[in-house]
Amino acid sequence: MKKYKKIVRLKPLDQKRFKFLYIFFLILIFCLFGRLVKLQVFNASDLQRRARLIQSSKTNSLKKRRSIVDRNNRLIAYDKPLYKLWAHPKYFKFPGDSINRVRSIEEVTKKLSPILDINGEILSGKFNNKMSGIKLLDRISEEKAEKIKTLQISGLDLFKYSQRYYPQGEIYSNLIGFVNDENKGSAGLELHLDNKIKVFNKSNYIKRGGDGTPLPDNSAPGDFISDYKSLGLTIDSKLQKSSFNALSKQVSKWKAKKGFAIVMDVNNGQILSLVSVPSYDPNKFWQYDSELFKGWYSQDLFEPGSTFKPINLALALEEKVIEKDGLVEDIGKIKVGGWTLFNWDKKGNGYIDYPKVLQVSSNVGMVKIMQNLDPSIYWDWLKNLGISENLETDLYESTAGQLKRKDLFINQSIEPAVASFGKGFSISPIKLVQLHAALANGGFEVTPHVTSTFKERISNNPKKQFFSSEVSKTVLKWMESVVDKGSGSGVKIEGYRIAGKTGTSQKAINGSYTSKKVCSFVATLPVNDPKYVVLVVIDEPSKPYAYGATVAVPVVRDIIESLIVIEKIPPKIKDHRTIVKKP
């Protein structure tokens, strides 16, 4: 059976309906075109700005400072990330709250107090009825800050900042210094090497695609790499602590004004330990007198006294005005230019050789020795040693020593006479260390320094030679006799060859000498292969019988004992055979 298709007759379109559709779509096209014009012309700059905010982000670095570490990478100073918590009660909302709901201060403090470990009432009291811009707390740890973030409370803002922290406290304070509340170096290396410690990271924009993928841009290589370098020191923290404890104990025992101790490598000027007492806690610097922030070991001057006698003997040998095996008569006093000069004990020692001059610390013997040297040549030597010049170092800015004018030194015989036993001129303790290092290393000048990078600045400079190798060895051997037989015997350690010289000088105040003293002792070891110089200076010990031998020598001994262990210095005997312990 055949199927027939149904025929549908077409009707003409309703004219009204057609006009309606035509007008509707025409209006729609005009609206879309108008919208396009508005977006592309009138709102273009605003949309572009908003797009950039979404597509790019700015990387801002904190005002950070490099960590400071010792030669074994032990932390001495570092930046600790902390947070400040600000509150805006009028915006307080918990996650899921409606737009119009505002949480109370009590509700927020109830959640905060367990995290901050602060009583809720105390925390609520910080708001003082203010509704915005309230600083609740600072120095919040990262751990607590993360817990606050997880609360997701609107109206709480955490501001991240860096705070300098010194884990070893007062042991390093006189060397490292501290930074103030604005994170600026204010004392010690933090101030003196501020530009080397500050981290100069740039703020940069990074472009991202819709899925957050970084897009290629014009950033230079390394623009987004953080600076994680540390400032390395030559200091050994174990030796630093040992030196600090030994010095503190002696300064307290003798009720002294202050004390200083240093250990330095005589061959390259690297400082292994540098401490001074009294000290302070750099983490709480605001609690201390600003006088403690001064690096007096390089900024204050003192008359070196008898610790300078070995230097003078080296000058006399260099100018060949004395022979190594010569003698000098010491009757206990000598008259020079109308002044009578005495030995420290006002006793004579008869005819003595030069090692004995050092052993008994004979002032009279030194005056007679240096009288053989022309005053003009003597002054030139002191000038050449850099007595009156600033010492280049990476420590505090050093103070130049004081040396009398040449015409005064030449024409007044008393001046070279008192200079022969370390009086009439002044130097910093750090300068005295440098000169004794030269005596120990064969006569060469070295630059004291505490930073590992400082050697790069001085490596290209030719070494200045103060003394010949032969003279240095001779004087060092004479200084060894001071430890074996003289005033430095308290530092003697079996199996080790140590050279040294004590010093006890009166302090001059307003041009007149007083009863106040500066006691010192300088030691070099091991004599068979000199590597270390140790200097201890203790200012104004107030008990009776205060001398270099009684006040400074015990500290040096304690330091050397620690140095031997830390540096693993093998024992030697004078015939250079190594002591071998039987199993």
| Mean pLDDT to the nearest integer, 268-283 | 95
Count the Cβ atoms, other than its own, within 10 Å of residue 425.
Answer: 20
d(CA 178, CA 133) in angstroms, rounded, equals 30
| Mean pLDDT to the nearest integer, 292-318 | 93
Q: Does the structure show a pLDDT above 50 at 277?
A: yes
Catalytic site positions: 306
Residue 583's pLDDT band, with cuts at 50, 70 and 90, is very low
Instruction: Write the CATH number for 280.
Output: 3.40.710.10
Whether 121 is in a domain gets the answer: yes
Do 156 and 245 lie in one domain? The reply is no
CB 432 within 8 Å of CB 264: no
Determine the pLDDT at residue 165. 93
Determine the pLDDT at residue 51. 64
Which of the listed residues 148, 163, 178 is the one where a domain comes to its end? 163
Do 156 and 247 lie in one domain? The reply is no
CA distances 211 to 47, 208, 215, 274, Å, are 19, 8, 11, 56
| Mean pLDDT to the nearest integer, 382-411 | 91
Percent of the chain scoring above 90 in pLDDT: 56
Do 125 and 248 lie in one domain? The reply is no
Do 154 and 271 lie in one domain? The reply is no
Query: Would you state the structure tokens that stand for residue 244, as one six-digit string?
Result: 């600090």
Determine the pLDDT at residue 212. 46
Tell me the DSSP string of 487-523: TTGGG--TT---EEEEEEEEEEETTEEEEEEEEEEEE
Whether 260 is in a domain gets the answer: yes
101 closest CA partner among 178, 154, 157, 141: 154
Bridge partners (DSSP) of residue 518 are 505, 539
pLDDT digits (tens, 9 = 90+) for 217-237: 555 544 444 556 889 999 999
Whether 339 is in a domain gets the answer: yes
Q: Does the structure show a pLDDT above 50 at 115?
A: yes
Do 141 and 262 lie in one domain? The reply is no
> Lowest-pLDDT range, 110-114, 347-351, 476-480, 495-499?
110-114
Instruction: Write the CATH number for 123.
Output: 3.90.1310.10
> Lowest-pLDDT range, 261-275, 299-313, 452-466?
452-466
Whether 157 is in a domain gets the answer: yes
Whether 290 is in a domain gets the answer: yes
d(CA 570, CA 576) in angstroms, rounded, equals 11
Q: Does the structure show a pLDDT above 90 at 62?
A: no
Do 119 and 263 lie in one domain? The reply is no
Query: Would you state the structure tokens that stand for residue 255, as one six-digit string?
Result: 């009720």
Do 140 and 286 lie in one domain? The reply is no
How many degrees, rounded to 5, is the angle at CA 504 between CA 503 and CA 510?
A: 125
> Lowest-pLDDT range, 60-64, 172-176, 300-304, 328-332?
60-64
Which of the listed residues 128, 163, 198 is the one where a domain comes to its end? 163
Do 157 and 287 lie in one domain? The reply is no
Percent of the chain scoring above 70 in pLDDT: 86
**Which residue in this structure is represented by tokens 């006093």?**
333
> Lowest-pLDDT range, 89-98, 248-257, 301-310, 528-537?
89-98
d(CA 176, CA 197) in angstroms, rounded, equals 11
> Lowest-pLDDT range, 41-45, 342-346, 464-468, 530-534?
41-45
d(CA 520, CA 500) in angstroms, rounded, equals 11
d(CA 180, CA 394) in angstroms, rounded, equals 21
Total domains in the chain come to 2
Do 365 and 259 lie in one domain? The reply is yes
The whole domain housing 322 covers 237-566
Determine the pLDDT at residue 317. 97
Do 260 and 366 lie in one domain? The reply is yes
Whether 221 is in a domain gets the answer: no
| Mean pLDDT to the nearest integer, 77-90 | 89
Determine the pLDDT at residue 13. 65
Determine the pLDDT at residue 517. 93
Whether 376 is in a domain gets the answer: yes
CB 454 within 8 Å of CB 394: yes
Which of the listed residues 110, 140, 163 is the one where a domain comes to its end? 163
CB 162 within 8 Å of CB 64: yes
What's phi and psi for 24, nearest 5 deg?
A: -60, -50
Q: Which of 113-117, 289-293, 403-407 has the highest mean pLDDT?
A: 403-407
| Mean pLDDT to the nearest integer, 483-494 | 95
Q: Does the structure show a pLDDT above 80 at 44?
A: no
Its pTM stands at 0.80
ω before 526 within 30° of 0 (cis)? yes
pLDDT digits (tens, 9 = 90+) for 163-222: 899 999 999 999 999 998 888 899 999 999 988 888 865 555 555 555 444 555 555 544
Determine the pLDDT at residue 518. 94
Whether 176 is in a domain gets the answer: no
Determine the pLDDT at residue 532. 98
Do 261 and 366 lie in one domain? The reply is yes
Helix (H) or strand (E) holding 59: strand 56-59
Determine the pLDDT at residue 513. 79
Query: Would you state the structure tokens that stand for residue 202, as one six-digit string?
Result: 């740039």
d(CA 192, CA 295) in angstroms, rounded, equals 11
Query: CB neighbours of 8 closer than 8 A, spacing ≥ 6?
Result: none
Residue 579's pLDDT band, with cuts at 50, 70 and 90, is very low
Residue 409's pLDDT band, with cuts at 50, 70 and 90, is very high
> Lowest-pLDDT range, 36-45, 78-87, 276-285, 449-458?
449-458
pLDDT averaged over every residue in the chain:
86
Q: Does the structure show a pLDDT above 80 at 112?
A: yes
Residue 61's pLDDT band, with cuts at 50, 70 and 90, is low
Do 298 and 156 lie in one domain? The reply is no
